Structure 1
Amino acid sequence: MTANALADGADLFAALKTRFGFSSFRPGQEAIVRDALAGRDLLAIMPTGGGKSLCFQLPAVLQPGITLVISPLIALMQDQVRLLQDNDIPATYINSSLESSEVSARLRGAAQGEYKLLYLAPERLLQSGFFDGVLTRLAGGRGINAFVVDEAHCVSEWGHDFRPEYRQLAALRRRFEHIPLFAFTATATPRVRQDIINQLALHDPAVHVASFNRPNLYYGVRPKNKRTYDELLARAREDSAGIVYCLSRKRVDELALQLQSDGIEALPYHAGLSAEQRRRNQEAFIRDDARVMVATIAFGMGINKPDVRWVVHYDLPRTLESYYQESGRAGRDGDPAECILYFSAADIRTAEFLIQQKVDPDTGAPLEDEQRLARQQLRQVLNYAESTECRRGIQLRYFGEVLPDSCGNCDNCRNPRQQQDRTIEAQQFLSCIARLAQRRERFGAAYLIDILRGSQSQRLIDNGHAQLSVYGIGKQHSVDTWRSVARALLHQGLAQETQDGYSVLSLNAASWEVLRGERKVHIAEAPASPRRKSDVSGGADDLHVADQPLFDKLRALRKKLADQSGVPPYVIFHDATLREMVRRAPASLEEFATIPGVGQAKLARYGQLFTDEIRAARSRTSTT
């Protein structure tokens, strides 16, 4: 049966079940698959966990010839190939981890029609010998049915993981104009989407933009203070996998070591480690041999571990888009997961310092455009961190999507914070700026707070600022209170911050509206106490207490089989599939075949083992 016939009939759903184990498509998948089978160029934007890989893997299985997938990371392509092979779908990859003899063997296999999908890095594909030789032979032989550009945001200089090599992929369109080109990515603003279309020279593409809303993720922002590590440790002690993102390698190493000293199976991951050490640590994490990964942003793209139950940002992320991408590595299986961001004023100073390092390497002159863009992105992150409105709504607006109502699954929706009238404090703060401006002096927020609180620092006294009328008028308020006032003035546009070698504050037109009493200033109170795991519903926690022992038995069996095969446990079955086994307790292979996530290959390979375990567990229960 042809691909077009499959697209029009029930056989498409039969293939979905027998090859991948699913009885229905996730939202948005079917339309993309049908356009792919129709041979159209396409751009598909689907959030992490939305099932974008299936949208090109299923058409590859159903069509003659081979699909070439351009992927940016070794870990990404190896992970997808393992999952395909476990479903008895012939797939392979070619990358720098292979010996030349193995590369040659796999290319011969591809030419002889042994594979349905071949994964490649862009650098390999664009090598002159490969591009002019291997691709031409494949296209002229059994045929290439499609080129897939995975993680396509790497094409765009406006994307968060720009890769210059990706810009050269338009050569595929020039050389192989008749072969469809599919671009897939999890995140892309409208500007990035158009750039992807232009850079890849897509022909009248079908554009599919799925919702960026992932309602299973809980989003929260917590103040970073002396209790932050204790909160992190409590999360890490739960029986679940998590990722902690830090801004610096030093912080990663220190935090991983501290967690290890407290008995947590935690590992570091950053660019300062050797490639082999990073590989080992990553492998330990995805195989459930380590529960927590402490990492810089070098970790995560292409990691397909579906059961990450929490992601913590210990430092401010660089952009709102990267935060969405990094936090989105939680809950890929659709079960409830937590995304927590810790935030303090010190993070702002660190971020500003890093922005100031964006200079021309030859002259040392500031790269003003890059610094301006970085400050704009930082402001977006700060607005998110300090906002009292729905966190998810802010994220979705960034991607051009409107949430019709509050999400009900973020800290601001669950525990709305009261607004406090801080107009008097704002006037006092702005008056301090004005008094210094009269003396042709400008300072940063920390120094202004010292004046308002009546500090007796030698620097302040030597500058003669103890004589100002505003000196000490705010001593009844804590430093944290004054910091929140300063941040609110900046974020609400009631003061401005400029860079004269260091951050200094000055007044603007809106400042005078506050000083004249024409405008009120309201600030949200501090966030409420953190939620505990018991507040998160769904997932493994919605099993009946009596079912938990069987679930644990099935997880242990899965881990044993995974270790024997040298693959991560989720390659065998996802947690959601194990829970369905517990709920339905299939006693026969026929019943086992109806479980979501069980296709023909997994039924043949694992069905008897799991049904035997289920029957044995039920038998033990009935006799006790």
Structure 2
Amino acid sequence: MDDWKDTRRLVLARDGYKCVSCSTRVKSRDADVHHLLPRSMGGSDEPSNLVTLCDGCHAAHHPNLAGGLARRAIERWAMRLARWLDRDASSLESDMNFGPVLRLFGTSHFRGGQLPIVLAALSGKSILVVSPTGSGKSLCFQIPALLRRGCTIVVSPLKTLMSDQVSGLLRRKIPATFVNSALSVEEKEIRYDMVGVNAVKFLYLAPERFFVKSKSERTLLSDSEPEFLVVDEAHCVDAWGRDFRPEYGRLAEVRKSLGSPPVLAFTATAGQAMQQRILASLGIEDAEVFVRGVDRPNIALVRWMAARSARHHEIAALLRLPVFAGRKAMIFVPTAKVGHELQADLRNNGLEIPFYHSRLGNEWERQELLKRFQGESRPIVNHIICTNAFGMGLDVPDVRLVIHWQQPASVEDYLQEFGRAGRDGKQSVAVTFTEGGRGHRQDVGLLRFIAEKTANGSSLDASAARSMLQQRYSQIEDLTDLLASRECFRQGIVEYFEGPKVKPRLTLGMKILNWAFSKESAPKRFRYCCDACAAVDRRLENLPQHVASVFVNR
């Protein structure tokens, strides 16, 4: 690379920083150095085979590449104008260009909402991004990391997620690795050595890795001085940071030991209260928060009142609808006991549906069932019963139906779970069974019992345990209230995460960057919103009929 830079400078100086074809003066960063005899025909990089051309003359020499060359010229000018006009873009390095790194990931444009996140990260801000799985969150930290010189550390909760992300980066020839307990001591040393000589761009770790017994390993990590500390699945900070995996609650301490790099936190689900708790735990209260993609208009939201004893009949009728034949469907249950009972009831109804939960067989059997549902193993599974242990970060594009046997424990869990539907943008349905009425509610009672069991079994002191329990109670009630509301269910969910909508005002610099690098398509409109907007009359319509009607074009 340095040899080419030296050669380029020599050619430009020899030609007097002028296009040899039209004599237009060019600046070093704008000039194109053209091979008289192309490399593909045996041409060399020697100065005698190179001449200086402006963008226009260079395009004329390569008519088959004229579009691409013009595109690159536009990208350079867009970056330059934005740096000049926009305060947020002024911190971008002079030779920085989004075009080449976007093409490295197989795309030419950012999706809607990605560019402001990338700019905030590159300006040195800590950020929290709430955006659904499959919406391109990873690109929002991968691009800033690639545009900076050093390594980026990514905190990830599961070995499978680490492996999948690293494999994806390696397929694009981007140096990345992970370190976890499955590796031998020798393999860990090799990987840390690569980090030490800056040969790796991304290092994936679980939070526990920063607190291992090995002092030398802890020292290696603290000496890595990453450009960014990325926290993937950041809702784990709030959900697990006090009891299940307390190391998630110590990431502010980890950040300090790494030299206080900017924190880039990402999650598919966090309401406004949880967002503030995550920021406080990470020690980045001044971070910029981005919430995008909460509203999924292609998912019809249906709340349906049904006694617990009748729900398996309703579920069997839904799964037998022709519209779901050979289509993916997920049925979420709150506990393994409820799941086994539902599986037995459906079997008695003539439906054999596998049940995925955390205690199912061994790890290989669980992974095999996951692969069968993803279509990567045979025989393929289309319908599955599952607890929320089923595939954090799972991205199956064609799930058409998500059923909740009862409400989950929070609006955050609910969004994460029903959001598994329709990731390909096509019409899908989310059905949630409710009890309705007043007095003793078994659904809520079960969730409160689970919350109490978790609090009592934690290692927290009495005061902290009570605080955690009250928070869990509050989250349960938030979703209970939304499910009971007669107003638009979708709007209630969106406001829970986003608050009142404020239309952002774009600066001229941002408009230029959006024009050059972003492609925002207008969201497709769907006929069905939710049961409240559809004014469902349950006296005249049963659940299978109602759900089938969602897929009928009128």
Residue from 100, 107, 119 that aligns with 2:185: 100
Cα distance, 1:40 vs structure 2: 2.3
Question: What one-letter code is carried by the residue in structure 1 that aligns with 2:328?
Answer: A
Match 1:273 to one of 355, 360, 364: 360
> What amino acid is the match of 2:135?
G
Matched, 1:249 2:336: yes
1:284 corresponds to: 372
- Report whether the alignment pairs 1:180 with 2:293: no
1:382 aligns with 2:480: yes
**Per-residue deviation, 1:125:** 2.7
Q: 1:33–1:240: structure 2 CA closer, same or farther, 3 Å change rule? A: same
Alpha-carbon contact 1:312-1:341 (below 8 Å) kept? yes
**TM alignment of 1:119-518, pairs within 5 A:** 119-127=204-212, 129=215, 132-139=218-225, 144-156=226-238, 163-202=245-284, 204-224=286-306, 225=310, 227-234=313-320, 237-256=324-343, 266-276=353-363, 277-288=365-376, 289-344=380-435, 348-356=441-449, 358=452, 360=456, 373-402=471-500, 409-412=528-531, 415-417=534-536
In 2: Cα distance, 1:37 partner to 1:66 partner? 14
Letter in 2 for 1:283: K
Task: From the superposition, tell whether residues 392 and 173 of structure 1 become closer, same or farther in structure 2 (CA, over 3 Å).
Answer: same
Query: What CA distance in whole angstroms lies between the structure 2 residues aligned with 1:159 and 1:114?
Result: 32
Which residue of 1 is the match for residue 112 of structure 2? 27
Using the TM superposition, give the Cα deviation of residue 392 of structure 1 relative to its aligned residue in structure 2, in angstroms.
0.5
Instruction: Quote how far apart the aligned CAs of 1:368 are.
Output: 6.7
Rounded to whole Å, the distance in 2 between the matches of 1:218 and 1:171 is 43
Q: Distance in 1 between matches of 2:121 and 2:301?
A: 34
- Against the structure 1 CA distance between its residues 63 and 275, is the aligned structure 2 distance closer, same or farther, given a 3 Å change threshold? farther
Instruction: Please tell me whether the aligned partners of residues 241 and 249 of structure 2 are also in contact (alpha carbons under 8 angstroms).
Output: no
CA contact (8 A) 1:393 1:402 kept: no
What residue identity is the alignment partner of 1:13?
A: G
Identity %: 34
Query: Structure 1 residue 145: deviation in Å?
Result: 1.8
Partner SS state of residue 309, structure 1: strand
Residue 163 of structure 2 is aligned with which of 53, 56, 78?
A: 78
- Contact 1:158/1:192 (<8 A) preserved: no
**Alpha-carbon shift at residue 270 of structure 1 (Å):** 1.4
Q: Which residue of 1 aligns with 2:551?
A: 536
Q: Which amino acid in the other structure matches residue 312 of structure 1?
A: I
Match of 1:608 in 2: none
Kindly tell me: are residues 396 and 243 of structure 1, through their superposed partners in 2, closer, same or farther at Cα, counting changes over 3 Å?
A: same
Distance 2:259 2:194 in 1: 25
Q: Secondary structure at the match of 2:366?
A: helix
Contact persistence 1:388–1:416 (CA under 8 A): no
Note closer, same or farther for the CA distance 1:77–1:348 as it changes in structure 2 (3 Å cut). Answer: farther
- Counterpart of 1:53 (choices 138, 151, 171) is 138
Distance change in 2, residues 1:221/1:159 (3 Å): farther
Structure 2: how far apart are the matches of 1:23 and 1:258?
A: 50
* Cα separation, partners in 2 of 1:320 and 1:64, compared to 1, 3 Å: same
| Structure 1, unaligned runs of 5 or more | 419-523, 539-624
Equivalent residue of 2:422, what SS? coil
Cα 1:381/1:157, change in 2 over 3 Å = closer
| Change over 3 Å in CA distance of 1:91–1:231 after alignment to 2 | farther
CA distance in 2, matches of 1:172, 1:372: 28
Note closer, same or farther for the CA distance 1:528–1:158 as it changes in structure 2 (3 Å cut): farther
Q: Judging changes above 3 Å, is the alpha-carbon distance between structure 1 residues 385 and 203 closer, same or farther for their aligned structure 2 residues? A: closer
Give the letter aligned to residue 357 of structure 2. H
Distance in 1 between the 2:203 and 2:174 partners?
11
Question: 2: distance between equivalents of 1:392 and 1:407?
Answer: 13
Counterpart CA distance in 1 for 2:185 and 2:399 is 36
Residue 5 of structure 2 corresponds to: none
Contact 1:76 1:304 in 2 (8 A): no
Q: Distance in 1 between matches of 2:476 and 2:172?
A: 44
Deviation for aligned residue 1:194:
2.3
- Shift of residue 159, structure 1, vs aligned partner: 9.0
Structure 1 stretch displaced more, 265-274 or 18-27: 265-274
1:162 and 1:390 map into 2 onto residues whose CA distance is 35
Q: Unaligned 5+ residue runs, structure 2?
A: 1-28, 30-78, 80-88, 503-524
1:297 aligned counterpart, secondary structure: coil
Mean Cα displacement is larger for which, 189-198 or 322-331?
189-198
Structure scoring higher RCO (CA < 8 A, sep ≥ 6) equals 2
**Other structure's SS at 1:174 match:** helix
Residue aligned with 2:294, SS: coil
How far did residue 67 of structure 1 move?
1.2
Q: CA RMSD in A?
A: 3.9
After TM superposition, give the deviation of residue 402 of structure 1 in Å. Answer: 4.4
Q: Is the 8 A contact 1:49 1:331 kept in 2?
A: no
DSSP 3-state at the match of 2:224: helix
Q: Distance in 1 between matches of 2:320 and 2:137?
A: 34
Aligned to 1:586: none
What TM-score results when the alignment is normalised by the length of structure 2?
A: 0.66
TM-score, scaled relative to structure 1? 0.59
Following superposition, the deviation at residue 73 of structure 1 comes to 1.6
Q: Relative to 1, partners in 2 of residues 1:369 and 1:61: Cα closer, same or farther, differing over 3 Å?
A: closer
8 A Cα contact 2:127 2:263, kept in partner: yes
Instruction: Indicate the residue corresponding to 1:13 in structure 2.
Output: 99
SS of the residue 1:156 aligns to: helix
Following TM superposition, by how much is the alpha carbon of 1:71 offset from its aligned partner in structure 2, in angstroms?
0.8
* Counterpart in the other structure of 2:44: none
